[in-house]
Amino acid sequence: MDWNALYSSAFEGVRGRIGRVDRVLLAYNTNIDAIKYLDGRDLRERVEKVGKDKVLRYSDDLPGRIESVPQLLGSILWSIKRGKAAELFVESCSARFYMKHWGWDELRMGGQVGIMANLLGGVYGVPVIAHVPQLSRLQASLFKDGPIYVPKLEDGKVKLVHPKGFAGDEENCIHYIYEFPRGFRVFNFEAPRENRFIGSADDYNTTLFIRDEFREGFDEITKSSPLTIISGLQALTKENYREPFEIIRGHLDVLNEREIPTHLEFAFTPDETVRKAILGLLGRFWSVGLNEVELASIMKVMGEKKLAEKLLASDPVDPVAVTDAMLKLAEKTWVRRIHFHTYGYYLALTDYRGEFVRNALLFAALAAAAKAKLGEINSIDDVVKAMDVPVNEKIKPIEEVLSKVYGMEDGITELNGYQLTFVPTKIVEKPRSTVGIGDTISSSAFMGEFALR
């Protein structure tokens, strides 16, 4: 199979037809990512100043949320010690004040909506309407120029303006990202791999705050949006999910009634009650996007423990286990499209057929490789700069399994009335950045499908 030829024509196809995608509505999470590259000496001095004993306890047991400065520093040490990512909500004012004064090296657009708005609107030039829970000046400054809009209520009517023209003076929702490289040393800890600890000083995205414009004007907003992508449900807990879920159900009523294809970008949702509740809503979505950890976490709440374990047991992920899991999910929920991505390949299960499904996946894989290679994509023409990244050779056995077990040809086969679609991805050896790459993959593929239809 000459995947490079398919990559090339998929790119040309999407680039030529992207103007056909009219407008995409994006809800709900947008925030500011403030990145601090940790310095070993600075961190050690800070820990000693606050009190080493007080801090170190939390490097063994991660607290549930950050309620003090020692908990903040201890949690950072917890991540370093294990080379593991962690994200905690920062409740205490003093810890928030401390983080603000500690500062950052870089500010970036954060939240799936913010990242996708800049990609679809700012890079691809596809008009988007974004839900931004709080539009501070800092938040507005992180939006790229281009057809990106936020709704503004004026005399009960919805007006669309670029975030920079919103003139809001709202709160900053900052996710402080403390990054460390592999081998980073502090006290007698050494990071086994690079990673980050995130402290979210954000009361809005974490509780899925939904703005008045989206509560009162949703009907109006959806009139001009033929596609929707929803994300940001992941931080909810069993204590606080009911109210936002009521609003989301109302939004889905409107979207379903208008037959607007809606994609859910699933992100790892630690709370099992919330995960089950999302599963209960999935049938009202057209499409869902997820990786292996997220698919395994869904299998777990569906009672498929063995399958969940299988999904996490091998690298690259076993495609037969993925296909089984996708079939179970589709048959349980009736969601029409499942897009699975992992390091090395993507699979999609759709209740409709066509090469455009595969070509949209190829476009998305090229966009992901371009992002990894360049750090940032500034125009759709940057996407093609990843054509020289080789197609992942290690995935050959995966392709062979799919052909043997399911009779797959050219990345497409039929299974239980569904189309199963596969693409091997291009993997950048030394990526410049992988932040938000999952969002790039899912939004490019979903949008790409509707450009190619």
Q: Which residues are catalytic?
A: 439
Number of residues that bind ligand ADP (CB under 6 A): 16
Q: Is residue 43 a contact partner of residue 402, using CB atoms and an 8 Å limit?
A: no
**AA identity, residue 408:** M
Pick one of 438, 444, 448, 452: the residue that binds ligand ADP (CB under 6 A).
438
Name the residue among 177, 196, 199 with its Cα closest to residue 91: 199
* Contact status: 431 vs ligand ADP (CB under 6 A): yes
Tell the smallest beta-carbon distance from residue 419 to ligand ADP (Å): 21
Asked if 111 interacts with ligand ADP (CB under 6 A), we say: no
* 377 near ligand ADP, judged by CB under 6 A: no
Between CA 119 and CA 128 the distance in angstroms is 10
The verdict on 343 binding ligand ADP (CB under 6 A) reads yes
Could you give the CA distance from residue 175 to residue 173 in angstroms, rounded to a whole number?
Answer: 7
Applying CB under 6 A, the span of 187-195, 311-319, 337-345, 398-406 interacting with ligand ADP comes to 337-345
Give the end-to-end CA distance of the chain in Å, rounded to a whole number: 24
Sole binder of ligand ADP in the list 79, 205, 342, 359 (CB under 6 A): 342
322 binds ligand ADP (CB under 6 A): no
Residues 163, 130 contacting (CB under 8 angstroms): yes
Sequence-ordered alpha helix ranges (H) in 103-236: 112-117, 137-141, 212-216, 218-223
| DSSP bridge pairs for 107 | 34
Residues in 253-292 that interact with ligand ADP by CB under 6 A:
291
DSSP three-state, residue 49? helix
| Three-state secondary structure call for residue 361 | helix
**Shortest Cβ 400–ligand ADP spacing (Å):** 20
Strand partners, 292: none
H or E segment at 297? helix 292-301
Does residue 348 belong to the site contacting ligand ADP (CB under 6 A)? no
What is the residue whose two structure tokens read 């829970």? 133
Q: How far is the CB of 142 from ligand ADP (least distance, A)?
A: 18
**Which residue has 């995935």 as its token pair?**
395
Is 437 one of the binding residues for ligand ADP (CB under 6 A)? yes
47 binds ligand ADP (CB under 6 A): no
Residue with the shortest CB distance to ligand ADP: 438
Nearer to ligand ADP by Cβ, of 251 and 373: the residue is: 373
Query: In 25-92, which residue ranges form alpha helices assigned H by DSSP?
Result: 40-50, 52-60, 69-82
Please select the residue that binds ligand ADP; options are 99, 307, 428, 452, rule is CB under 6 A. Answer: 428
Amino acid at the residue 239 = E
Residue from 131, 196, 251, 341 in contact with ligand ADP (CB under 6 A) = 341
Q: Does 368 bind ligand ADP (CB under 6 A)?
A: yes
Taking CB under 6 A as the rule, does residue 366 contact ligand ADP? no
Task: Please identify, among the stretches 42-50, 204-212, 313-321, 367-375, the one whose residues bind ligand ADP according to the rule CB under 6 A.
Answer: 367-375
434 binding ligand ADP? (CB under 6 A): yes
Alpha-helical (H) ranges within 353-433 are: 355-374, 380-383, 396-406
Q: Report, in Å, the least distance between residue 293 CB and ligand ADP.
A: 7
Q: Are 54 and 127 in contact (CB under 8 A)?
A: no
> Which residue ranges make up the site for ligand ADP (CB under 6 A)?
291, 341-343, 368-369, 372, 425, 427-428, 431, 434, 436-439
